[in-house]
Structure 1
């Protein structure tokens, strides 16, 4: 895993990432393009296996679509029976941890890094994201750097979450605000 306290200066002295990091990402991108990107939707087991070869921790039954974009697999942990939908982007310069039974809907973005705006070189700061069990990130929503979502939390379509989300909270808007508490209907 990358050091969450690591800092890089994209406009400053030296490269933002090591040559080894860059080569690892290029190798993964080529493997994903050649062996996963074209696969049918049902090939989830194959795509899990490929991601695991690059250091991702993927739980049993997780479904990751071929069009998902992942920056660095070794910075990714996905729980069992989680779905990462078509076109989702996991921009995991920092670590992203997604609990079991979560849904990351189509074209949602999880971004685990930011830049220090008080630095003239825009120092890169890695800020891990953690989603508890049973969370749902709806279509085209954005989860910002350092956000933690409690178990069962929901972020509505096109919402942008920059603060932590409470357990069983339903959030919407940009910036996202708590709408109400999620409750399960015992009748189904």
Structure 2
């Protein structure tokens, strides 16, 4: 069983929906079984790639995910080529998550596309909404970052450790904090120094 298109249409459309659909429940359980199988693989096991291609919406070339990975579905997440995620990546991917080529994700990062209405009677009826997360090319997301629904992070951006990203981050910027704010653009200093006053060796 693959995830039925009807289920994907419900989750990926704007607005409130209710996650008490029996077909949705059955499809999610199958996805979670695939996720379990992925997390149980040994390093270097060729089955990892095969499972990833069945589990996720898209997997580019040379994608490496350090287990364990946690996901609501898997099918909602699209990985570009040459992406890397350290351990404990959490994907609340009822909505879609797009991760660009050459992006690096630190440990304990949470990408959550889904929220619930403030109105308590709707929450009792398991109402939720999902908005996509879009992460550009060559982004670096530091350890323990949380990205909330509907956020876009532009190409080459850096998000500092322990940040809570509630709004879009422009390309070529560094953002940090709770909530995350842009603190500066990536500039000439960054082309010469890799960290604080540590100079990048010539020829690199």
Q: Scaled by the length of structure 1, what TM-score is found?
A: 0.86
Query: Residues 80 and 102 of structure 2 are in contact (CA less than 8 Å); yes or no, is this contact kept in structure 1?
Result: yes
1:99 to partner: Cα distance: 0.6
Partner residue of 2:89? 88
Matched, 1:135 2:144: no
1:41-120 superposed matches below 5 A: 41-43=43-45, 46-118=47-119, 120=121
Partner residue of 1:146? 150
1:38 to partner: Cα distance: 2.5
Summarize deviations over 1:39-60 as a string: whole Å, max 9, x none: 23434x5333213223520101
Query: How far, CA to CA, are the matches of 2:177 and 2:138 in structure 1?
Result: 20
Partner residue of 1:8? 17
Structure 2 unaligned regions, length at least 5: 1-7, 193-201
1:36 to partner: Cα distance: 2.0
Matched, 1:18 2:21: yes
Query: How far, CA to CA, are the matches of 1:32 and 1:74 in structure 2?
Result: 11
Structure 1 unaligned regions, length at least 5: 10-15
Q: Which has the larger radius of gyration?
A: 2
Give the structure with the larger helix fraction: 2
Q: Scaled by the length of structure 2, what TM-score is found?
A: 0.80
1:83 to partner: Cα distance: 0.7
Matched, 1:37 2:43: no
Query: Residues 4 and 128 of structure 1 are in contact (CA less than 8 Å); yes or no, is this contact kept in structure 2?
Result: no
Partner residue of 2:122? 121
Query: How far, CA to CA, are the matches of 1:167 and 1:79 in structure 2?
Result: 17
State the aligned residue count.
180
Query: How far, CA to CA, are the matches of 2:22 and 2:111 in structure 1?
Result: 25
